[in-house]
Structure 1
Amino acid sequence: MKKFLITSALVAVIGLSMPVFAHEGEDHAAAPGTEETAQVTSTVELSETAINNLGIKTVKATIAPRATTIDVNGIVEFLPERQAIASARAAGRVSEINVKVGEEVAKGQRLLTIQPIFVGSSPVSIPSPLDGYVTKQNVVLGQSVTPEAGLMEIGDSSEVLVRGVMYETPDVTKVQVGQNVSVNSSLIGNEPLEGKVQRMDGAYDRGSRTLNVYALVENPDRKLLANMQVVLSIEVTEPADILTVPVKAILGESGEQFIFVRSGNAFERRSVKLGAKFGAEREVLEGVFPDEEVVTVGNYQLQFAKSAEPKKDASAAETKKEDDGHDHEH
């Protein structure tokens, strides 16, 4: 009897320690850590309100003739023949100032008046040496001046030089006089200004180890101002038909870059394989088709956007509410 009791106790202990297996048809809660994870979607659908709030803008991926470019930092400068300094022909005092900095002037227009120091001398008008704008004023009323002093500076920026700064790399050997260039800056809008390489320095700067490249650029609307910093894109190959998208449409890091493609209110995130850079455009080798709308503004925010909740059918919701209010016997 004693042996029987000991054996029964051992069987009970073993039974408690063994795992319990679920049989087919039984429902059991998932073990911690084994829950099914949510699948990350590559497309997000937004309401019109959300699209407007994000300020989303798109452009079409296009096939157009493109040339490989080298981008360098540039500084806008006046052409030497389109910049002048107004000075006095004799010593005297400034008695009148007729124009202001930033004002447009014509060649021969009076800039200021000098009263010579010689007794009995008539006032002398100082004319503008060329058509342009007053870029600097170096004197005030009553100031004494001498013939060698620069009184005002006038510049004509309808055509400018953009001085590109190149470092000592193999890219320098690809640049030649006469190549087409485009000038880009966030301050001049999306349309770059066009020009050509006019000349290059004959030697590197001894201290900075840089070489200056000068491009002649048409600037009829004066979008480019002297001393403005810009990006100078120099075309170093012949144009070929290439599919491109704006650089600002591309997100991610090298090797994991992507864009958002819009179709109606849906925005699909697509990985892309990129090629050469053409100024503000980038070649797309894989991931986008011609004429597809790619997002250029608001694309960063789209990474964190969630799809809009679908609208519930009012009649179905009302029916469910009525059913929930009834008591049923089972």
Structure 2
Amino acid sequence: MKRLILTLSFLMLISPANAGPGHDHGESAFAGSVGPVPYFELSDQQMSNLGIESAKVEFLPITQTVDMLAFTELLPEKRTRISPRFGGKILDIAVKVGQEVKTGQRLVTLEPVSVGNSNVVLSAPMDGFILNLYAGVGEIVEAGGDILEIGDATQMLVRGVAYETPDIASIAVDQKVEVHLDVNPDRHIEGKIQRINRVIDPESRTFSVYALVDTPSSDIQSGLQGTMEIFTGNDKPVLAVSKRSVLGELGSYFVYVIKGQEVEKRDVTLGAKTGHHIEIKSGLFPNERVVTNGNYQLQYISVGSIQDHDDNGHEETPHDEQKEHSHDDGHDHHDGQNHEGDSHAGHDHENEAHDHESHDDHSSHDH
């Protein structure tokens, strides 16, 4: 009997009804949920930790562009091979691959095969740099044989590769382009469409567009990869945001709209693009503000993590919450349990005393 009473007392102690007023057992929107949420609030400390920055949604002149993968190439007319007009033995090569050369600079010394002819020096026909060496010292080169190649990188071709889409019809010669190479994506290289190869590759289903860009410093190599934007439309004011504010892929895009400390995830429909901005066809209104920095991290904020982070950035576990509530409700559960146990103990002693009295009564009756 004593053991049964103690067990019932313990079950009453841990019952949710005894948790005290103000305790949250999962009914709240922030009760231990996981995964991203569409609406939440951030504290000042959280906004500072995430580096939250925002920009206004506004009407901007946007020019329709076509984006494509791009590769740098030397112009065919800006490269040449050095070949002798006669057969001869290479006595000396005065340059190395990658070396810059000037017009008239000595490149190769040849000893003609014909007896009695003096050695011949081959010089650079233009400014540029050495692209390739095709022969070495001591080799015999036939007339017209290639020894080396020079390239001029003060102008470059950028070959854009695009898939078979309706965008093909909007591309034309002399349209402005902007190139961003992977080796330096913040650099904007401007140029114009020189020619279009409209023959579709039967295997890749792509076509090529060639743009001419000026690179007077000769600091762009052949074979670099990047992206090319071709400006195909006319400027017109449209509702636009910074490209940095837009997240998502495969036709499903969204932004984070922020007002004060309230943040809302909002689906958007995109339109025309430029190098830095993108048109919003639906989902936003003028003068709203969207998150431009820290928005990537916002994707991974769950309801539970927002609830658990206090203003000091300390994450409080559910166990800590329970401990805090147990102190706040003004009840000392451990003391209550001890007192309850004492009351039961007293009750048992009284029963025991009653049993002794009954036993004495029976004993006297027998006698």
**Normalising to structure 2: TM-score of the pair?**
0.63
Match of 1:236 in 2: 232
Superposed CA offset, 1:39-67 (max 9, x none): 7563445759975xx7x696856765321
| Shift, 1:69, TM fit | 0.9
Cα distance, 1:124–1:279 mapped onto 2, change above 3 Å: farther
| Shift, 1:238, TM fit | 0.8
Measure the CA separation in 1 of the matches of 2:182 and 2:52.
16
| CA contact 1:260–1:299 (8 Å) conserved in 2 | no
Cα distance, 1:310–1:194 mapped onto 2, change above 3 Å: same
Structure 1: which 5+ residue stretches go unaligned?
A: 1-25, 313-330
Kindly provide the amino acid, as one letter, of the partner of residue 310 in structure 1.
D
| Shift, 1:243, TM fit | 5.0
Measure the CA separation in 2 of the matches of 1:299 and 1:219.
36
Structure (1/2) with the larger helix percentage: 2
Cα distance, 1:244–1:218 mapped onto 2, change above 3 Å: farther
- Percent identity over the alignment? 30
Please tell me whether residue 143 in structure 1 is matched to residue 136 in structure 2: no
Matches within 5 A, 1:280-319: 280=275, 281-285=277-281, 286-287=283-284, 294-296=291-293, 299-304=295-300, 309-310=310-311
| Shift, 1:273, TM fit | 2.1
Worse overlay, 218-227 or 91-100: 218-227
Match of 2:172 in 1: 176
Larger radius of gyration: 2
Worse overlay, 284-293 or 84-93: 284-293
Cα distance, 1:205–1:303 mapped onto 2, change above 3 Å: closer
Give the secondary-structure state (helix, strand or coil) at the position aligned to 1:192.
strand
Please tell me whether residue 271 in structure 1 is matched to residue 266 in structure 2: yes
| Shift, 1:82, TM fit | 1.1
Please tell me whether residue 257 in structure 1 is matched to residue 258 in structure 2: no
Counterpart among 90, 95, 99 of residue 95 in structure 2:
99
Measure the CA separation in 2 of the matches of 1:183 and 1:99.
32
Give the secondary-structure state (helix, strand or coil) at the position aligned to 2:187.
coil
Structure 2: which 5+ residue stretches go unaligned?
A: 1-15, 32-36, 314-367
Kindly provide the amino acid, as one letter, of the partner of residue 233 in structure 1.
E
| CA contact 2:43–2:311 (8 Å) conserved in 1 | no
Superposed CA offset, 1:60-81 (max 9, x none): 5676532111112222221122
Match of 2:182 in 1: 186
Match of 2:105 in 1: 109
| CA contact 2:88–2:111 (8 Å) conserved in 1 | yes
Counterpart among 121, 128, 131 of residue 125 in structure 1:
121
Give the secondary-structure state (helix, strand or coil) at the position aligned to 1:301.
helix
Cα distance, 1:59–1:120 mapped onto 2, change above 3 Å: farther
Measure the CA separation in 2 of the matches of 1:291 and 1:221.
43
Cα distance, 1:95–1:60 mapped onto 2, change above 3 Å: farther
Kindly provide the amino acid, as one letter, of the partner of residue 292 in structure 2.
V
Matches within 5 A, 1:8-23: none
| CA contact 1:245–1:294 (8 Å) conserved in 2 | no
Kindly provide the amino acid, as one letter, of the partner of residue 131 in structure 1.
D
**Normalising to structure 1: TM-score of the pair?**
0.69
Instruction: Note the aligned Cα RMSD (angstroms).
Output: 3.9
| CA contact 1:79–1:161 (8 Å) conserved in 2 | yes
Measure the CA separation in 2 of the matches of 1:99 and 1:291.
61
| Shift, 1:289, TM fit | 6.2
Measure the CA separation in 1 of the matches of 2:219 and 2:45.
38
